[in-house]
Structures are given as structure tokens and as C-alpha cells.
Amino acid sequence: MKCLPFEAVELIKSIYVFNRRVGAGFKNPLAACSITKKQIKRKPDSISSLRKEAVEHQKYVNGATMYLVEHNPGHSQLSHAYRDSLLPEKQFSGSHYAHQVKKIQAFKESFAQRQSISQSQVSKAQGSSRVYHVTSYGADPSGKNDSTNEILNAISDAARDPGNGILYKDIVNLGGVRIDLDGGNYKINRPLKLPVAGRGNLMIHGGTLTASEDFPTDGYLIDLSDSSSSGLEYNYEYVTLKDLLLDSNFRGSGGIQVIKSLRTGIDNCYITHFTGYGIFVQGGHETYIRNSFLGQHITAGGDPGERSFSGTAISLNGNDNAVTDVVIFSAATGILLSGPANTISGVHCYNKATGFGGTGIYLKLPGLTQTRIINSYFDYTGIVAEDPVQLHISSSFFLGDAFILLKSINGVARGVNIVDNMFSGSGKGVDIVQLDEQNKKFNDIDQVVVDRNNGRGMNVKATVAIGTTNGNDTSWTVDLNQALLFPDRVKSVHYSLIAGGDTFPNHALRNVTDNRIVVQSNVPVRATITVIVDQAIQMYYSLPDLFIFTVDDSHSYPTKSKLSFTCWELGPLI
């Protein structure tokens, strides 16, 4: 048996053409060069049946060879040929016949020469495409047998490609090499790691990885870390993990670990059955996680075992990262942020209800948050931020009494915007934004804006509030504790007094203690008092030049005379 290149089929057809010219042929015009699709489905007796057909027609060519092409079930193309010496010959004469026989002989010699190419040369030719198919290395796509070594061999060959050029500081540009899992489900017994650091521009994609029963309990299915202490500023750059299902099988710690890497992309991945972290990122920056699904347990919500959910779906211990369009459907903590300058957008967290001890997003970087959370959906689970500094939460939806908790570590809250969100609850009076001051009261507060949020079945808290009252009295009190976020804290007040009748009383703001605004007048009057209070912004006032307008008896228009003082500045109002 000899392998026949698929492109040689057209050449084989010339045998049939020649046979027709010399008076020989087959009932089926392609019988001399290939087995038809219908015949491929038959057993190896296809050859004998074709031989019988040829015998019946008694048409043979002296010295010619018949090639029968057989389909290899492991490939999508016709890939094998068998030759069979033809039976009793019929003699023909003439130079034309001799010429055609020489052409056939030349083709046979060319075919034999092609078959002499070594397997190593074929492998090299395949490798030159820079797409490394793990099945070509012997990996079992059925998941019955362990494929760790085979996949690691493919990764090793890809990573040791000489590449072309340099990315950031001595990171070799591999040119976009791809390790293709060929849509298989592979069992592995240890983490998949690159053999050397300092590599970039490569992709692993297109399949399922499942941890075996003897997988290390602290391991990750894909581990982008360097244990060799290479001394590089970043281990890897522009590594893409795409279209993967990673099943830690409750054996390994998690699905993906990214340590001190630059510009890593995790796209369209499904990560489940982790015990520690679904994705763990430490150091480096610009890890982008997109269009992915993570959950310790596979559920669609309302799981009876939700109280026991543990682990963290995504941990970002680095800066300049982004999580976009990601669903987290089961874990004690959805996203743990312990690095600054990160962005969360389009995330749906229903990992574990707050009432069961779960948290959607936990910001654990007191004093330097610098994080934006926008356009996200918190489904019965909320946000916790420790000593937030420069935190922006907007355009998000909180369902099922989910709320935002500001947790004091050192009493700092500066540059916080919680605006334009929607909250929906059960009507139990849960505050949309809450404070945890068990460690220390918030006392370093500036530029905190909680405003323009709306709530249904929840109590809307804010740092800006408007209140009004009326009555016939000399003193009016507007209590804003129900609306204001911080207790006993008013940084600025604007108020108005509208008096009824002809009375024109003197009045003044007298007290703001405990978020109760007190306005008093010198005489009893029926009046309506309106106050606008801001808790967090320290305001400074500068009075302009003051003028007194008088009317000169000889003129019909007013004149003005300037006071002896011009301008003076107040410090903080309180």
C-alpha cells in the first residue's frame, strides 16, 4: 500500500483516457482512478468488485497498472491508493501506445519519489503553518485518555518558534502562532504552562480542558506564570485564551492563572468547578476578560445549594485591567479587585445572594480604588468598597434588595460617584447605599456624590437632599436623616423662607446637628421653609462687592453707593 497525494487523482485520470484511446475502458468512467462515494462506504471488497467488472468487459491493457483509491476514515480526503496488476493482456502495437506507456511509467516513478519524503519533513511542513494541532501530537479528543504530555509538546513547539522581532523588552514576537485544541475534550493531570518566559503573540483556543482526579489541588488548568526567575519585567505579552471550556473538576484551584503578564486576552471562555479562583491575575497589567461565563457550580439561579457556594470567580490583583460582558453565576465572590485603575462593564452577577453571605464585587484596596463599574447588573448580590477613593458606579441595575456598602477601614471616602443607578427591592426599607463603620467612623470625606439614583421598594439614600416644612411659628426643623447617607454630617446648606401675609421677619439658620436643619425668625410668621443640603463637598464662599441702592429725589432712577469694605471670604460653612 502506498499513499497517493490527493492532487494526483487528476493524473490518474489520464490512465483512463489512454485506455479509452486504445480500446480499453471501464463501465464506470472513474473506476480506473477512484472509488466513488457510494463505493467508499463498502468494505475492502471494493477492489475485488472492480476487478470483476473489468474481467466482465474483457478490456485490459498490456503492461498497464490500475490504481484504486480508498478513503481513510481518519481523514476527510481520499488518501490511499492500491495498485493491482491487470490480468491477461491484450496486445496493441504502434508508437502511440509506446509513448503512452512511457508517460505512465514516468508518473509511477514520480509517485514513488514523493512517497520517499520522510515523516519528519512532513511534520516540519505542517509546523511551518504555525498552527499546532494537538491531535497531531496524539492528544485524545474524546477525553478517555490523559493528553497532558501531547498538549504540552504542542505548546512547547509553538513557544520555541524562533518568531520574528521583539515586543516589549525582550519578549519574542511569535507572530500569532496558535495551539488548536481541534474542538476536543481533553483530560489533563497537571497545569499547562509555557516552557520558557519572554514569549508573546500566541493563542490557545478551541476546545475543552478537564482536570483529572490526580490534578494538583493548588494548580490551574492554564498557568501563565514563570517559575524560572527569568528576571523579565513581564513574563508574557499578548497571549490570547479563546473559545475554551475549562473544568477544574473540583480538583484544581482554578481555570486560569496570569502572573506578571502584559496585555493578556481571555475571550469567550466558560470556567467552572473551581475551588479557589476561576481566573486569578496577579501583577502585570492590561488583562482583558471578555464575553465569558464563570461559576463554581453549573446553575441558572435559585440553586438549593447556593448557601454553600464558595470561591471567587475573578481575582484582579493588578492595575489597568478590564472585565467586560461577563456572567458570574455561582461563587461566594463574583469579582475581587485588589488593584487600582480597573474597569468593570456589562457584568451580570448572581453568584450568591447577599442574604447568604455573597458579594458581587468586592473592592479591597482601601485608599486607592480608582475603579469604574458601569452598565452592570447585580442580581440579589451587591458591591462592597473599602475606604473608596476615586470610585465610580453608574448606570447599573440592582435587583432583590441588592445594595452598595462603603466599608470604613481608616475612615476615608474621597472622590466617590454613585449616580444614575436603579434599585429594586422587596419593600422592606433596605437602604440602597449603606455604611459599615464598625472599624472606624468615616471622618475624611470629600467629593462624595450619591445622587440621581431611583429606587422601588428600597430606601433611596443620598449625599444631597432637599427638604421642606411649613407652619406658623418662630422656629422650623427639617429632619433629613431618612434621606442623607452620612449621619450627623452637613457641609453646606441653602435655605429659603417664604413668609405669608405682609410680615417681613428677620430669620437665620441656627443649627444643623444630627442632620436636622433649624431655621428661626424674630417674630412668629406663617412660612414655608425649603432646605438643600450637601454632605460631602466642602464649599468656600466669596462675597462680591456689596452695593446699597438709594433713590435721589431729583431723579426717577436709583443710584448706588459702594460700602466701605469690598470682599471677604468665608471658610468651610461648618
How does pLDDT run across 323-373, given as a tens digit for each residue? 999 999 999 999 999 999 999 999 999 999 999 999 999 999 999 999 999
- Least trusted range by pLDDT, from 73-87, 298-312, 493-507: 73-87
Residue with cell 441653602: 494
| Mean pLDDT, range 114-141, rounded to an integer | 68
Give pLDDT, residue 110.
56
- Measured distance CA(125)–CA(103) in Å, rounded: 29
Cβ atoms of 309 and 351 closer than 8 Å: yes
Which domains are seen in the chain, by residue range?
2-116 (no CATH), 126-420 (2.160.20.10), 464-570 (no CATH)
Interval 158-181: pLDDT, tens = 998 888 888 998 899 999 999 999
CA nearest neighbour of 409 among 426, 431, 386:
386
Write the DSSP symbol of residue 484: B
Cβ atoms of 64 and 90 closer than 8 Å: no
| Cα Rg of the chain, angstroms | 40
Does the predicted TM-score (pTM) go above 0.75? no
Residue 15 pLDDT grade (very low, low, confident, very high; cuts 50, 70, 90) = very low
Bridge partners, residue 159, by sequence: none
3-state secondary structure (DSSP) of residue 238: strand
- Measured distance CA(155)–CA(139) in Å, rounded: 12
Cβ atoms of 309 and 321 closer than 8 Å: no
pLDDT value at 83 more than 50: no
Residue with cell 422656629: 475
The percent of residues in the chain predicted with pLDDT above 90, rounded, is 66
pLDDT value at 479 more than 90: yes
Contacts of 2 (CB under 8 A, 6+ apart): 80, 81, 83, 111, 112, 115
Interval 225-273: pLDDT, tens = 988 777 889 999 999 999 999 999 999 899 999 999 999 999 999 999 9
- Measured distance CA(279)–CA(487) in Å, rounded: 39
Sign of dihedral through CA atoms 61, 65, 67, 68?
Answer: positive
Output the DSSP codes for 502-530: T----EEEEE-GGGEEEEEEEEEEEEEEE
pLDDT value at 73 more than 90: no
pLDDT, averaged across the chain = 81
- Measured distance CA(9)–CA(42) in Å, rounded: 20
Residue 194 pLDDT grade (very low, low, confident, very high; cuts 50, 70, 90) = very high
- Measured distance CA(285)–CA(287) in Å, rounded: 6
Sign of dihedral through CA atoms 351, 352, 354, 359?
Answer: negative
Cβ atoms of 262 and 226 closer than 8 Å: no
Length of the chain: 574
Contacts of 500 (CB under 8 A, 6+ apart): 525, 526, 527
Residue with cell 516589549: 168
| Mean pLDDT, range 385-394, rounded to an integer | 98
